[in-house]
Amino acid sequence: MIIDWTDFEPLGTEKLNSAPGVCVTAAGSISVYASVGPELELWYGSLLDGHVWSGLRLLDSEPIVSAPGVVARTPGSRDLFVRRPGYQLGHKAYDINIGWSPYEPVGPELFTNTTPAVCSRSTDRIDVFVRSATDHSLFILAFDGKRWLVATQLETDQLPAAPAATSRGSGRMDVVFQGSDNALWHKSFAANTWSASTRINSGITSSGPSICTASPTTLDVFVRRSDNAIWQTSFDGKWSGYEPIGTETVATAPAAVWANGKVHVFAAGQARGLLHKVGTPVPATSTQGDWRWCSKCQSLFFGGQQATSRCPVGDAHASQGQSHSGNYTLPFGVPATARRQRDWRWCDKCQGLFWGPGVNDSHCSAGGRHATANETGSYDYCLPHSLPISPRRQDDWRWCNRCQGLFWGPGVGSSHCAAGGAHTPPEQSGSSDYCLPHEASRTALV
């Protein structure tokens, strides 16, 4: 899935002492909780309909010494868990008809040094995941609708940070945690059985994760890594590699949730203020694969028509077997954003991609100018640009202002332009740095 991310926006100037805790409430609104200020008080705010921020305000003046874990079992309820003074795990409940309850102690002293993660697999069930104070192993505390059950150990490994948990539907749970090897691990619960722990990714993380779900078959996990930026890994039948969601750095673990078809990520910034960014999925039906790099001219062309293509060097563009090009996937028919530029077009004469508004100044290797979109029926391709480096995207693709085509920037010295000579380097053309999604590339292009 391709996701368009906004930049982080600040949500006020209050100083956070902890990572935020978030949950989705009625009508797709998002509730946010955190420890704020020198008195370590519990504050909260609401992102109404996913975009109107209420501001942070005081919920409880009693100090807390952990990030909150929170879940909404029903639209009119919340269950919030925090560490309190004396390192007591405490629970506050909210009912729309009653308001907030006082804190109640939860669990034995074994869990006095923990930041809780919480999820609900049914409206009468709460599951809280915590680290043991003695050996930092993973335990689950469960409420069955009537009472708290005896804690159960789920993992003997020593966790250096708090876990995260979510439910993908009735009777199902997923928990992710940072192992003693600093890699990310996953356990799932279904049919009343826990799976074995599975290592997701080996990349080093510098905080506990956050996990959320958009459907019964998908998971999205966000972590702060060693560069202090937030990275994402996703499950849709298999786990993806890590991918950054921006270059901004944060000071705490992230908190993430899906609401109204978008994924929302919150964290405390380096100045400890609350930050928020939004990811909007690009529909999978609005992408086209089989775009390829030509090793002869350095340009991008449509590999599905390689036999009828025309290269400025002569004959057809290099086949995938000759160039070992990656399989590039281009979005089309989707709105432009600050980091995605539309109006790139396919020419059916040379099979290349070119900048549509420059068609009258273009040069095609099959002769004359490129074919217009009216002549070819080309999709309106929207190219990502100016994004962080990612294993699933390749940056440094550039626009040539002479032929109007797209070429791989590091190969400009050996490139060939349909207007003659080499393509124009970006310092002369002013080209953006285009980042093309791809499946696999030859070693020199990864």
Mark whether 213 and 326 lie in a shared domain: no
The reply to whether 121 and 27 lie within a common domain is: yes
Q: Same domain for 363 and 269?
A: no
DSSP state of 59: E
pLDDT at position 442, please?
Answer: 31
Question: In whole angstroms, what is the distance from residue 398 CA to residue 410 CA?
Answer: 9
The DSSP element (H or E) to which 259 belongs, if any, is strand 255-259
Using CA atoms, how far apart are residues 334 and 13, in angstroms rounded to an integer?
35
Identify whether residues 278 and 296 lie together within a single domain. Answer: no
Q: Which strands, in side-by-side order, build the sheet including 381-384? A: 353-355, 340-346, 381-384
Same domain, 128 and 16: yes
Give every residue of the chain whose pLDDT is below 50, as ranges: 440-446
Q: Distance (Å, rounded) from C-alpha 217 to C-alpha 229?
A: 27
The verdict on 223 and 353 lying in the same domain is no
pLDDT of residue 241: 82
Encoded tokens for 215: 């459907």
Q: Verify that 251 and 292 share a domain, yes or no.
A: no
The total number of structural domains in the chain stands at 2
DSSP secondary structure letter of residue 371:
P
- Same domain? For 83 and 163 the reply is yes
Single residue among 217, 248, 282 that ends a domain in this structure: 282
What is residue 50's predicted lDDT score, i.e. its pLDDT? 75
CA–CA dist 295, 266 (Å, integer) = 43
On whether both 6 and 72 belong to a single domain, the answer is: yes
**Tokens read off for 85:** 């003074």
Please name the helix (run of DSSP H) or strand (run of DSSP E) that holds residue 5, with its range, or none. strand 2-5
- Report which residue type is found at 305: Q
194: containing domain = 2-282
Report pLDDT for 87: 66
Examine the domain organization and report whether 297 and 168 are in the same domain: no
User: Tens of pLDDT along 216-266?
Assistant: 999 999 999 989 999 999 999 999 888 889 889 999 999 999 999 999 999
325 with 240, same domain: the answer is no
Q: Which of 267, 282, 297 is the last residue of a domain?
A: 282
Domain boundary, last residue among 247, 282, 317: 282
Pairing of strands 274-282, 9-10: antiparallel
- Give the per-residue pLDDT at 330: 94
Residues 327 and 342 in one domain: yes
Domain of 79, CATH number, reads: 2.120.10.70
Residue 3 confidence (pLDDT): 84
The H or E element spanning position 302 is strand 300-302
